[in-house]
Amino acid sequence: MAGAAAAGGEGWSSRWAFILAAVGSAVGLGNLVRFPAEAGANGGGAFVIFYIFCVLLIGLPVLLSETLLGRHGQRSAIESVKKVAAESGASQWWSLAAGVGMVAAFLVLTYYSVLAGWVIYFIGVFAGDLGGPSGLFGGALSDYSVEQVQGILPALQADSSTMLLMHAIFMSITIFAVARGVTSGIEKVAVWLMPSFFILFLGITIYGAFTGAFGAALEFLFAFDPSRLLDPNVQLSALGQALFSLSLGSALMITYGAYASRDVNLAKTSAQIASADTSVAIIAGLAIFPITFAALAPEALAAVLAGEEQVQGGLGLLFVSLPVAFQTMPAGGIIGLLFFIMVFFAALTSSVALLEASVSWAVDRFKIARWLATAILGGAAYLIGAWASFSFNSQAEFQPLDFLIFSGQPVFGIIDELTAKIMLPVSALLVAIFVGWVANRQLIDSENGISGGLHRVWLFLVRWLCPLVITAILLFGLFPGLLG
Ligand code: PHE
């Protein structure tokens, strides 16, 4: 079965390939790094509950909206929305929904590749432990003291040339895969790496459940604190994370939807994508927190669970606490190696998606060769990412936007906050309004693959709940002062 003839005549070779590519784009550093970091920083339970609420009631309906826009449009994201707008007699300006998203995807790629570069570096660190190129990384990990393991990330962050080299390696692999095209590049990466990812993921989760402090992690992630549930900061973080993790509001699902063939049921596929992605995020939390909690002293753990002490939030969780924990655990060296290889697989199937969102548009709009578009856009993302990486050393004090959610953030953090907490929600909001109110109903209903009660629920969510809730969360999250 040939796929759709989107931008350049390419498409997924089967429904299965579409699912793997879409799940591959969704499952990434967002699930394995950003989700545990945000859950840790926002107090666990309340964040997780609100996150699940956002996935079900906002993410899922918007996911179906985005894929159906792409499949109907059969072109790159912006052009697809323009086409649906034209057929509905609506303004071409609605393509801004995809435009904002596409720019966001490009911006996310810039720093995503820096982080994925760290992952490559840690593969090297753990490979050194197994007698790999230990010279490069300074000897076997098992000989390190705890302080030395804790020092690996800060040392890497202080060393711009190594960071830029790792960032370059990761971006080059991404560019290479995207330049090969949808079927022989992006789809191949997903079809090979996603099954490998799931096997590793299963193994590491079982390992974490048996060796780590599983009960404590469960308590941390699901303990319910109603007062935090109403915190606008927690809500904006959870909404941003839900969209980021499902690759929504980034033009991506419109782009990937365009490569899907007519016989794919988009509602069913969307549900499968969302459940796979959400399961990975939650299970990853249940794998990562037990391992790191196991390395904490009992009093420290009790303080964390009582909410008196923050867990190591942010990037330190994955790149500091986890390596320390691995080092003290049975077979920790090899598990650590497999863990970072797994994270690398997840990151690559997402970074190709982040780049494809703008590449498909450049190819479609300017009729330039795919390799050229990939090289230009990937190269530009590399340079911005390189600049952002100085946030960890020479430009840590450069915090140009000292207001709202940006205050105290260097460039790296600004790009993350701007994309996840503003651009993705704005793009998702425009998609919901466009599909719910503006686009021709018959056109939409011929694509969405649902009928009856389910259809009514979906329409209600897209028309009312998504626009109202996204607007409210955006306003109160950005301007907490509005609440008085
Ligand atoms: N969803 C990916 C992740 O969780 C990131 C991503 C966002 C990928 C938007 C593509 C588009 O890591």
Choice from 103, 245, 254, 424 to test ligand 1 binding pocket (greatest atom count within 8 A of CB): 245
| Domain definitions of the chain by residue range | 6-483
**Pair 419, 107: CB distance under 8 Å:** yes
| 138 band by pLDDT with thresholds 50, 70 and 90 | low
Instruction: Between 80 and 39, name the one with better pLDDT.
Output: 80
| 231 band by pLDDT with thresholds 50, 70 and 90 | confident
Distance 207 CA to ligand 1 centre (A): 26
What is the rounded average pLDDT of the residues 259-273?
A: 95
Which atom of ligand 1 is least distant from the CA of 351? 8
Distance 36 CA to ligand 1 centre (A): 15
Distance 353 CA to ligand 1 centre (A): 8
Which atom of ligand 1 is least distant from the CA of 246? 1
Task: Please report, rounded to a whole number, the percentage of residues in the chain having pLDDT higher than 90.
Answer: 63
Q: What is the pLDDT of residue 167?
A: 98
Helix (H, G, I), strand (E, B) or coil at 478: helix
Residue 384 Cα distances to 107, 244, 408, 415, 475, angstroms: 8, 20, 20, 10, 29
> What whole-number distance in Å separates Cα of residue 222 and Cα of residue 47?
9
Q: For 423-444, write each residue's pLDDT tens digit.
A: 999 999 999 999 999 999 999 9
Residue-averaged pLDDT of the chain: 89
Which are the contacts of 141, defined by CB distance < 8 A and separation ≥ 6? Answer: 125, 126, 128, 129, 149, 323, 327, 333, 336
Q: Is the pLDDT assigned to residue 2 strictly greater than 60?
A: no
Q: For 123-137, write each residue's pLDDT tens digit.
A: 998 888 665 544 445
CATH code of 6-483, in short, is: 1.20.1740
Angle formed by the axes of helices 370-389 and 96-129, nearest 10°? 70
Which atom of ligand 1 is least distant from the CA of 249? 9
Indicate the Cα dihedral angle 364, 365, 366, 368, nearest 10°. Answer: -10
Ligand 1 atom 9: residue of nearest CA? 247
Residue 16 Cα distances to 190, 239, 467, angstroms: 10, 28, 32
Categorise residue 43: left if φ over 0, alpha if ψ from -120 to 50, beta otherwise.
left
Angle, CA of 192, 127 and 217, to the nearest 5°: 75
Give the residues across from 10 on adjacent strands.
6
pTM above 0.85, yes or no: yes
Which span out of 132-136, 202-206, 225-229, 257-261 was modeled with the highest average pLDDT?
257-261
> What whole-number distance in Å separates Cα of residue 29 and Cα of residue 347?
6
Helices (H), 74-158: 77-87, 96-129, 134-137, 146-150, 152-158
Q: For 7-47, write each residue's pLDDT tens digit.
A: 456 899 999 999 999 999 999 999 998 898 888 778 788 89
Q: What is the pLDDT of residue 78?
A: 98
Residue 292 Cα distances to 162, 239, 324, 338, angstroms: 27, 26, 8, 17
> What whole-number distance in Å separates Cα of residue 110 and Cα of residue 381?
5
| 79 band by pLDDT with thresholds 50, 70 and 90 | very high
Indicate the Cα dihedral angle 113, 115, 120, 122, nearest 10°. Answer: 180
Give the residues across from 6 on adjacent strands.
10
Which are the contacts of 202, defined by CB distance < 8 A and separation ≥ 6? Answer: none
Which atom of ligand 1 is least distant from the CA of 35? 4
Choice from 250, 256, 360 to test ligand 1 binding pocket (greatest atom count within 8 A of CB): 250
Spell out which residues line ligand 1, taking CB within 6 angstroms. Answer: 25-26, 28-31, 105, 108, 244-245, 247, 250, 252, 350, 353-354
> What whole-number distance in Å separates Cα of residue 166 and Cα of residue 379?
14
> What whole-number distance in Å separates Cα of residue 417 and Cα of residue 481?
19
